[in-house]
Structure 1
Amino acid sequence: MRFGLYALVSFFYLYNNVWAQKVTNRATISGYVREIGSQEALIGVNVYIPGTTTGTTTNTYGFYSLTLPAQDSVRLAYSFVGYETVTRASQLRANQTISVALTPGRALAEVNVTAESTGEKVSESAQMSAIDIPIAQIKKIPAFLGEKDVLKVLQLMPGVQKGSEGQTGIYVRGGGPDQNLIILDDAVVYNASHLFGFFSVFNGDAIKSVELIKGGFPARYGGRLSSVIEMNLKDGNREKLHGEGGIGLIASRLTLEGPLTKNKKSSFLISGRRTYLDILAAPLINAETRGQTKIGYFFYDLNAKANYDLSDKDKLYLSGYFGRDKFHARDRTQNTDTDLSWGNATSTLRWNHLFSQKLFSNLSLIYSDYKFQIASIERGTVDNQLYSLQYNSGIRDFSLKYDFDYYPSPEHSVKVGVQGTYHRFTPSAVVLQNSAINQLNSTINTIDVTESGVYAEDIWRPSSRWRINGGLRLSYFQQKDVGYFRPEPRLSGAYTLRPDLSVKASYALMNQYVHLLSNTGIGLPTDLWVPTTDRVKPQQSQQVAVGIAKDFTTGSSFTKGLALTIEGYYKTMDNIINYKEGASFLLINDPTSANSVRWEDNVTAGRGWSYGAEFLLQKKVGRFSGWAGYTLSWTQWQFAELNNGRPYYPRYDRRHDVSLVGIYELNKRITLSATWVYGTGNALTMPISRYDAYRAGASYLYDNDGRGIIQSLLQNSRPVDDYGTQRNRFRAEPYHRFDVSIQFHKQKKHHERTWEISMYNLYNRRNPYFYRLEAVDPLSTEPSRIGLFRYSVFPIVPSVSYNFKF
């Protein structure tokens, strides 16, 4: 951290000296862009001079700065998706502040797209492999059981592979679920799922923006290999009390926001959600088991945020997320009692300071905590043995982050920053029997490590045709006496062939110092987070991508507003880890070493590579909106100690992936939407045969004196599956489904209500969830034939929900 701060001070000193000599007779316009009626800061608003390529965008806090030659009159346009474009004209003889409020556009208004009214288009941006989806659009897409889910919408994007049926797992360009950096208001969220992966922890009512970056990563991001998913909470309405919520089949939610003071300098937001599965399922379970089995499950999450303007140059933000899943099962017939709980807690305190009209800073203090616990006790019905399972996994972070945005001229937008994180890992899992239970030391050894980084990046416009984002990140990781220092160069650029068409290319090197150990590969909360050590090196990836981007600014009302991107990529991954054959983190009846075993003994390191092409045609606004996406990709892994050292396809290698999303505003009262997805089946390791294994046993005859005489040897058999020597040689059937929904809106005097009816998997496709070898005719007296049986989870699933705003 000390080195990073010194580097930042030196950087600004040199940079300011250079520009002080080059820039004369210029003036700066800066300010904030907010939403009219709520004063919510807007992220990514395009601020530009119409008819030119001179412009900038607002940062995460709605701030912009643009330095121009002094002149008698200048006209600026402020453009943002879903809002009406605003222009401001003023003299520019001296520095001045202009803050603007934008009005949300009418839902049914067709987009009037011209070369001068779009601001920065996808073809003009230096960033590639990035996707942002308006929250308003997310709320209109059909959802499983009516629960609007940000992560499931991201699964519909090219380059993002879905996990198992209904799950929120994210697999980006060949990477695993641990290789995604999920950020909520600067805080890292380590496990983003409820209900064992069927729902995410993010409540769409509280989210202001979401962006997915799959490649060409800016230098400000680090610590993961495959993607960045950055989300920001709403700040809260500064003018009046506002609320929205919904009642669905399995959960209800409520969000309240409003001013804290009358001077419109502060606001708050609080948003909560809870499921009532435990209440709905309890009568059914009790009736089925006659009270012998009790099962309960629920989840909840809570978002809260408050902000206050200390002055025109200083703003304070405090935000947090708290969520928990709880599962309990008690079976009196089996004498078992099991409790599971897992959840996240994050909090972020941020201070914005405006040093000048060109220099904006943000200081963040961040806390993140993820815990998973299992406590299970079973008493054997035959041997009366007592078994206990105790399983813990946790990671807790304390972070300090300082970022600067510097706008020396229209040709340069500079970002620099430094971050330090103190991680504490608590991995432990042990199974004990009888007397060994009392021998376990309940204190779990912790693993403490530090991770830090310093970065600098510059969006440079050397000419009207070129836009380049170059940067360098220096990362450092320390665990006991072992340290890793890694430079991470980043470069992306766009060359404009004509006003609506450009070619792009990018290169990024990423390092990851935390790992997720999984026996399932589906990102369950039972997976263990572990750090880089002296024996396990950091994961590292290198990715190259090229592509084209085109904006459709002319033509019919349907084609106006369309954006097309086509990209090809190649990515290598080194030092990825996996369990060795037959290895597990569970310790059986070994309380003395339960807290001292080295998990490194159970893992092996290898490498992977992924390549493919992605197609995305997207329309964000207008009466008809949505997108069409297609991915063609290959992913392979190779470990010296797995699959006989040969490369193999991991579970979520998917050759073809298609997603079609359409939203149509029929009129002011009715919205129709539909999605169709198709994907190549998962690569699985399945048994290639089954045979009976025998063991010798003895039978005794007893005479009248009680003496035993061996009568004969018997053969006791049990079925054994043979998986062969190749991993994942079996391909599951293709996955596809069709979802539809219809929303009925009604605007009342003081509130708006929406009824939504949706159908998940409309044509009742029996998609595979897992496969098993079973007897074809188990009741037959003849030797049974063995067949492969497919099991599905969700048939057609209807749902109804009620949503309201006031």
Structure 2
Amino acid sequence: MKKTLPFYFLTFYFFHSAAQNFTISGYMSDIKSGEKLIGATTFDIKNGGGTITNEYGFYSLTLPADSVILSFSYVGYTSQKIIFYLNRDTIIHIKLISNTQLQEVVISAEKNEEKIQERSQMSTIDIPIETIKALPAFLGETDVLKAMQLLPGVQGGTEGTSGIFVRGGSPDQNLILLDGVPVYNASHLFGFFSVFNSDALNKATLIKGGFPARYGGRLSSVIDLRMKEGDMDDYHGAGSIGLVASRLTVEGPIKKDTSSFIISTRRTYIDILARPIIKASSDGAVAGYFFYDVNAKFNYKFSDKDRLYLSGYFGRDKFYFNDKDYDPDNYSEGGLNWGNATGVVRWNHILNKRAFSNLTATFTSYEFEIFNNLYETDEDINGEEIQTLLGFKYFSGIRDIALKEDIDFIPSPKHFMKFGAGVIWHTFMPGATEFKQEGIDLDIPDINLSSDNISAVEGDLYAEDDWEISNSLKVNFGLHASLFAVDTSTYISLQPRISARYLVGENVSIKASYSQMTQFIHLLSNSGIGLPTDLWVPATDKVVPQNAHQYALGFAYTLQDNYEISVEGYYKKMNNIIDYKDGASYLYDGVTEWEDKVESGEGWAYGGEFFLQKRIGDFNGWIGYTLSWSNRQFPTINLGEKYPYKYDTRHNIDVAAVYNITDRITFSAVFVFSSGQPISIPVAKYIGAFGELIYHYEGRNGYRMNPYHRMDINISFHKEKKHWTRTWNFGAYNVYNHYNPFFIYEEFDPATGEGFYKQVTLFPIIPYVSWDFKF
């Protein structure tokens, strides 16, 4: 009996101590629209503990029973303080006022907001959506991916396109999420615009390294985009009319304070404007191109603990041509169609005062189609007219259905734990080519050259904890475990992740991270800029999954006046990356499978990044500098020797600035500089044995084009009407008209027969104007 007394004493003490702690929980949102505030801070001023809201605006903070002074804050919002005595579990829903909703306010950061040096996560950047909208835009169309190209560690690829190359990685290594759903091709107009309508977005985050365990499936980055939920209080909208596209967004309550919706649409009218010109200059031929997309989201609050979301995206690019008006009897028609579709059903449920559940079912697909039909009219053996058809069509795509459960558990102010599990059913359509004929008096069946669809199952488990070990040391660590089964092959991967910060002063911290990533799908690309001919394919018994190990070390520092500085160095080793063999075609020929057209290799990327950012105030923006190297090595390319990756640029400088001159005038500017991209140019040429011209190269990508640089500017004039606000935007892309290299080709002097190289410039100065409105 005596031996059991200490046990009973400890048990009584534990429960007695636990009884003295109570939990404050709830949601934080915008007071006007009801939009949830992601990453907002709750801080106990008296005791020093704090937490942040999750991806759905939920927070939970456990504190000792006592009088508490809580501060609720979010960047760009006026903070709110609450003083009360905590003697029971309490639910408090907080609604903050945006600084833009106040007539006169000095915009500044709340002292207790989590600063960059306090976060355990590194290599992560949030870009305010309003900053993205204020920056100069190509042809006046705001673009979140083009804004991310201005961040350190990110290359933009070919000029004008929205391609993303992060820390030496390739486009397929970016996990691009829209409301948690992967988007496989994020480009409109062959990459010149992204598929994301900024008016529909609430938050944009880029993660370049130190990946939390909840993310998986890609090697180089996570681009996490969250849609708005829709205003639960009032109806309003926004839109824009530009030179090439217009957009319209409408949102409001379905049932006030209970349910809401948001619908955002966009369409270009290049085809409408160009149709008369094309028809007049081509003897009746018709050709055109346009794209459109639609974002929609609905949510319903069943109770304080339960909320249901339905959201989706649908977008298409269409290029078409026909010359039937020129000759109705003999003509051709064809086109290219491609696009994405996503759908999400999401159930948020507060399990208890410290646990939050998110159950999600998703659908995503990407499809591409190219076709060409030739019609001819002739006479048969009886002298009667007969129309014949010769047709060609190529189709490819990918489709996913997924189910996932995520749990947030906040046992104390020192821990923020996340764990979950999910499964994805993939269907890959690597390519089908069809030839057909009609009206031809020949017994020839249609020819279908189809690479069989491939089904695969991907499952994952993860657990992570953001643990404040002491006032100085905070660590985010976890494990992501995944399984991929395709045909007779099964791959299992364990991927440890850790990211830590150590405060060496009130405003300075040292950070370090390590992450292992595995990618079970590959992208076969002839371009690297998101052309619709790119093919998604799975790892198989012949082509194994990609994987990468990334290490990073740096420091973060917050200056006065809300300036944040981060400096990071990184090293990334990539294995089993693939590329087409020389001379291979992406079209399926009925004989050679795609696995036999590619080979596996290795990649290395390393460098340093500097980032100075000011997120709030009348003057905001950032300066970024990147020094980097990126190399590839394949067994049969470049004689098996290492060579620079095609988007390896040594130095990159990016400056983005927004200045609110007055309440009615905003000026913004962007400056970009990068070292020349590597290309392959022959160093000699000679005549072969059969008279053919043979070029001699001294290695792949051994020559660099001239450096790239440009400046874009924009000035906006705002005017408030009685029930609406209008804004005129005037700007220019490449304002000083610098001739940047797009590609280089060889020409010959007819007098001497000597060859020389010429540089082609794609975009000179391009002015634009757009008219925005809100109501």
> Normalising TM by the smaller chain, what interval?
over 0.9
> Does the CA contact (< 8 Å) of 1:751 and 1:804 recur in 2?
yes
What is the aligned partner in structure 1 of residue 720 from structure 2? 747
Cα separation, 1, equivalents of 2:47 and 2:374: 73
> Does the CA contact (< 8 Å) of 1:766 and 1:792 recur in 2?
yes
CA 1:796–1:51 in structure 2 vs 1: closer, same or farther (change >3 Å)?
Answer: farther
Decide which of 393, 396, 400 is 2:399's aligned counterpart: 396
Cα separation, 2, equivalents of 1:398 and 1:208: 25
Cα separation, 2, equivalents of 1:112 and 1:410: 26
Q: SS of the residue aligned with 2:199?
A: coil
Cα separation, 1, equivalents of 2:353 and 2:682: 66
Cα separation, 2, equivalents of 1:667 and 1:468: 43
Alignment partner of 1:636 is 2:631: yes
> Does the CA contact (< 8 Å) of 2:510 and 2:554 recur in 1?
yes
Alignment partner of 1:77 is 2:84: no
User: CA offsets per residue over residues 52-75 of structure 1, 9 Å max, x none?
Assistant: 65211111111000011111x101
| 1:495-534 pair list within 5 angstroms | 495-534=502-541
> Does the CA contact (< 8 Å) of 1:413 and 1:459 recur in 2?
yes
What is the aligned partner in structure 2 of residue 651 from structure 1? 646
Cα separation, 2, equivalents of 1:278 and 1:585: 29
Cα separation, 2, equivalents of 1:442 and 1:575: 28
Alignment partner of 1:788 is 2:727: no
Decide which of 421, 424, 427 is 2:424's aligned counterpart: 421
Q: SS of the residue aligned with 2:644?
A: coil
What is the aligned partner in structure 1 of residue 130 from structure 2? 136
> Does the CA contact (< 8 Å) of 1:374 and 1:390 recur in 2?
yes
Q: After alignment, is 435-444 or 211-220 more displaced?
A: 435-444
In the TM superposition, residue 688 of structure 1 has moved relative to its aligned partner by: 3.6
| 1:474-553 pair list within 5 angstroms | 474-552=481-559
> Does the CA contact (< 8 Å) of 2:430 and 2:535 recur in 1?
yes
Cα separation, 1, equivalents of 2:763 and 2:448: 43
Decide which of 149, 163, 173 is 2:167's aligned counterpart: 173
Q: Superposition RMSD on alpha carbons, in Å?
A: 2.4
CA 1:175–1:51 in structure 2 vs 1: closer, same or farther (change >3 Å)?
Answer: farther
CA 1:502–1:340 in structure 2 vs 1: closer, same or farther (change >3 Å)?
Answer: same
> Does the CA contact (< 8 Å) of 1:111 and 1:561 recur in 2?
no
User: CA offsets per residue over residues 236-292 of structure 1, 9 Å max, x none?
Assistant: 000110100000000000000000014x1100000000000000111221222232x
Q: SS of the residue aligned with 1:196?
A: helix
Decide which of 386, 405, 408 is 1:405's aligned counterpart: 408
Decide which of 300, 303, 306 is 1:311's aligned counterpart: 303
Q: SS of the residue aligned with 2:643?
A: coil
Letter in 2 for 1:563: E
> Does the CA contact (< 8 Å) of 1:361 and 1:404 recur in 2?
yes
Alignment partner of 1:275 is 2:278: no
Q: SS of the residue aligned with 2:712?
A: strand
Q: SS of the residue aligned with 1:136?
A: helix
User: CA offsets per residue over residues 191-218 of structure 1, 9 Å max, x none?
Assistant: 0000000000000000000100000000
CA 1:52–1:96 in structure 2 vs 1: closer, same or farther (change >3 Å)?
Answer: closer
> Does the CA contact (< 8 Å) of 1:521 and 1:651 recur in 2?
no
Letter in 2 for 1:351: W
> Does the CA contact (< 8 Å) of 1:79 and 1:117 recur in 2?
no
What is the aligned partner in structure 1 of residue 360 from structure 2? 364
User: CA offsets per residue over residues 597-637 of structure 1, 9 Å max, x none?
Assistant: 42111110000010000000000110110000000000000
Q: SS of the residue aligned with 1:285?
A: helix
Q: After alignment, is 321-330 or 540-549 more displaced?
A: 321-330
User: CA offsets per residue over residues 327-360 of structure 1, 9 Å max, x none?
Assistant: 0133679965331000000000000111101010
What is the aligned partner in structure 1 of residue 704 from structure 2? 731
> Does the CA contact (< 8 Å) of 2:42 and 2:71 recur in 1?
yes
What is the aligned partner in structure 2 of residue 668 from structure 1? 663
Q: SS of the residue aligned with 1:151?
A: helix
Letter in 2 for 1:344: N
Q: After alignment, is 234-243 or 439-448 more displaced?
A: 439-448
Q: SS of the residue aligned with 1:803?
A: strand
Cα separation, 1, equivalents of 2:593 and 2:721: 63
Decide which of 738, 758, 761 is 2:731's aligned counterpart: 758
Cα separation, 2, equivalents of 1:220 and 1:121: 23
Letter in 2 for 1:504: K
> Does the CA contact (< 8 Å) of 1:685 and 1:723 recur in 2?
no
Q: After alignment, is 442-451 or 739-748 more displaced?
A: 442-451
Cα separation, 2, equivalents of 1:154 and 1:176: 15
User: What TM-score do the two structures reach when normalised by structure 2?
Assistant: 0.92
What is the aligned partner in structure 2 of residue 561 from structure 1? 562
In the TM superposition, residue 379 of structure 1 has moved relative to its aligned partner by: 8.8
Cα separation, 2, equivalents of 1:205 and 1:50: 36
User: CA offsets per residue over residues 114-155 of structure 1, 9 Å max, x none?
Assistant: xx6241100000000000011111110000000000000000
Decide which of 356, 371, 374 is 1:375's aligned counterpart: 371
> Number of residue pairs matched?
744
Q: Which runs of 5+ in 1 are unaligned?
A: 1-17, 555-559, 696-716
What is the aligned partner in structure 2 of residue 265 from structure 1? 258
> Does the CA contact (< 8 Å) of 1:123 and 1:551 recur in 2?
yes
Letter in 1 for 2:84: S
Letter in 1 for 2:293: D
Cα separation, 2, equivalents of 1:44 and 1:606: 39
User: CA offsets per residue over residues 145-194 of structure 1, 9 Å max, x none?
Assistant: 00000000000000000111100000000100000000001111000000
> Does the CA contact (< 8 Å) of 2:289 and 2:320 recur in 1?
yes
Q: After alignment, is 665-674 or 390-399 more displaced?
A: 390-399
CA 1:804–1:509 in structure 2 vs 1: closer, same or farther (change >3 Å)?
Answer: same
In the TM superposition, residue 37 of structure 1 has moved relative to its aligned partner by: 1.1
Letter in 1 for 2:37: L
CA 1:495–1:20 in structure 2 vs 1: closer, same or farther (change >3 Å)?
Answer: farther
In the TM superposition, residue 580 of structure 1 has moved relative to its aligned partner by: 1.1
Letter in 2 for 1:82: G
In the TM superposition, residue 444 of structure 1 has moved relative to its aligned partner by: 5.8
> Does the CA contact (< 8 Å) of 2:356 and 2:407 recur in 1?
yes
Cα separation, 1, equivalents of 2:629 and 2:689: 42
Cα separation, 1, equivalents of 2:728 and 2:618: 20
Cα separation, 2, equivalents of 1:452 and 1:572: 25
> Does the CA contact (< 8 Å) of 1:644 and 1:725 recur in 2?
no
Cα separation, 1, equivalents of 2:106 and 2:282: 57
User: What TM-score do the two structures reach when normalised by structure 1?
Assistant: 0.89
Letter in 2 for 1:416: F
CA 1:795–1:36 in structure 2 vs 1: closer, same or farther (change >3 Å)?
Answer: same
